[in-house]
Structure formats: structure tokens, C-alpha cells
Amino acid sequence: MQVDDFETARPRLVAIATRMLGSPTDAEEAVQEVWLRAVGVDDEIDNPPAWLTTVVSRVCLDMLRARRDTASIDDVELADPHAGPDDQAQLADAVGAALGAVVDSLGPAERVAFVLHDVFGVPFDDVASILGKTPAATRQIASRARKRVSAAPPDAGSRRASAVSAFLAASRDGDFTGLVELLDPDSVFRTFTDDEPPALVHGAPAIADAFMFRAKTALTVALDGKVGVAVPHPAGGDAMLLVMDVSFTPAGAIAAIDATLRRDELAAVEIETLAQVPLEER
């Protein structure tokens, strides 16, 4: 694997990993693992982008297995990345593009079946081969997933968007109490730049203090379909100075804020207004 091949693919790998894992920190760890695997391959790779996409998908699934400690995730296996056929890369790409939208509400087999078939129209025979199940069983899994998704509270994303907007308003106004009330007591605030190690602020009071009288130009937006924050670049245009991914506790408090100023991640993230995209329930 050539270094140039990896660096060319890196923004896409970061975007895939971020969508699957929901955390810039975990995404960076996943992409680093992909690099370690890539440099360990002696054979020439015919299609580096497809190979890297498949590998990052498998790495992310392994991380989800460890994170959730869910035995059923062992049912989910992508094809051997060394095989590298185009349709395997296509399926891995589909997982990377949309798995994050349902990762917290569905089991591993359910989310793979739902995302690949219902979102991307992949035939059940192909999905079944990934899950290691029969097409009939895969249809049942997708049906269960569809029912769970449709039964989810329709306003969960809106509540999270409202919480982020309230947080930004409290930041602009210097409302320390308001900021603390919106944060989980054990919340974390992480900042990622190109030149410095990640910076960490832990605990609601410390994070509230860091955001006092800030967020003057920050906007509540959808980042890759998930509620977040974007700060436009002072130079104007479509460029962003930074974006912030926001995660929540089950009770709806802000659990983590991950701000990135990294150029490759800013270039890869998809930013949309809230009116244009349904928000995830995470």
C-alpha cells in the first residue's frame, strides 16, 4: 500500500468511521488501525480505495462489538478485504454511509439489514450473505428493524436540536447556570486540531466555563444527519472554521461535544440545515 493511496482515501475513511461510530475520537482510532493493517500488506492491492473502505468498515464493526458487548454482532461479517470485488466494496460503502443513523436503536444484524436493504436497496440475497443467514430470515430481521424504527419517538431529533440551540444561546448570553443544566455532570468537551494533541475538558462546570460568552456565530446544523454545531469561517463563503459533534445521554442531556478544526475532517463532513434532513435520535 502506497502512502499516497492512503492519504488520498483518508478523508473518506474518516467520514465513514465518524458516521459509523459517532465520535471523532473513535473514528481517528479506527483510521489509524486501518493504516497499520495497510502497511502490513505485502501483496499489491488492485483497488486501494475499495480495499480501504472494506477494512475501515470491518474495524468499525469490531469497535462496535467491543463497545456494546453484544454477542449478536458476531453474526455480522463483511467479506475478506483481500478479495476486493467491486460489489463487496459497494456493500461496505453502504454500511459506512448510513449505519450511524440507527446504531443506537437497532441490534447489529437488524441495523445492517435495515440500512442495506431499506436505505440502499441491496437485494436480500446479498444482505443474507453478509449476515450469514437465509434470505427469509434476513427479511424477518429487516421487518423487525423497520417496526422498531417507525415506533421511535418522532420528535427525538427535534428535542436534541432544541437542546443544542439552547446551549448555544446560553453560551452567547454567558448564562453559566443554563449551560450547566443542559450538560450531563460527567460530560466531556474535546477539541481536535491538525497541529496539537486533543484537548479535553471534563465535567459540566468546567465545560460551561469554557463556553461562557462564546458561540457568537455558531449555528445548529445537521452534521452527516446528526445534530451538531458549525461555525462559519470569518473569510465567508461555504468554508467552516470548526464543527462540533454533539452526543446525548438517554435522558437527553449533552454527554459529549467533539470539536474539530482538522482540515480533512472539515472537508469530508456533510453540513445541512435542519429543515433539509431528518435528525438521528442519538
Query: Residues 8-19: what's their mean pLDDT?
Result: 76
Q: Higher confidence at residue 166 or residue 16?
A: 166
Average pLDDT over residues 219-231: 84
- Does the pLDDT at position 91 exceed 50? no
For position 279, what pLDDT does the model report? 45
Backbone angles phi, psi at 195, to 5 degrees: -110, -15
Which range in 23-37, 150-164, 267-281 is most confidently predicted, on average pLDDT?
23-37
Write down the mean pLDDT value for the chain.
74
Most confident of 6-10, 17-21, 35-39, 202-206: 202-206
The per-residue pLDDT for 163 is 86
Q: Which residues share a beta bridge with 219?
A: 230
Which one is predicted more confidently, 210 or 148?
Answer: 210
Residue 131 backbone phi and psi in degrees, to 5: -80, -15
pLDDT tens digit sequence for 145-168: 777 665 555 445 667 888 888 898
The structural domains of the chain, with segments of one domain joined by +, span 3-149, 156-276
**Would you state the CATH architecture of domain 156-276?**
Roll (3.10)
Percent of the chain with pLDDT over 90: 19
Residue 218: predicted pLDDT:
87
Question: Is this structure's pTM higher than 0.85?
Answer: no
| pLDDT over threshold 70, residue 68 | no
108-134 confidence digits (pLDDT tens): 677 667 665 665 455 788 777 667 789
CATH for the stretch 3-149:
1.20.140
Residue 203 has pLDDT above 90, yes or no: yes
Averaged pLDDT, 67-75: 43
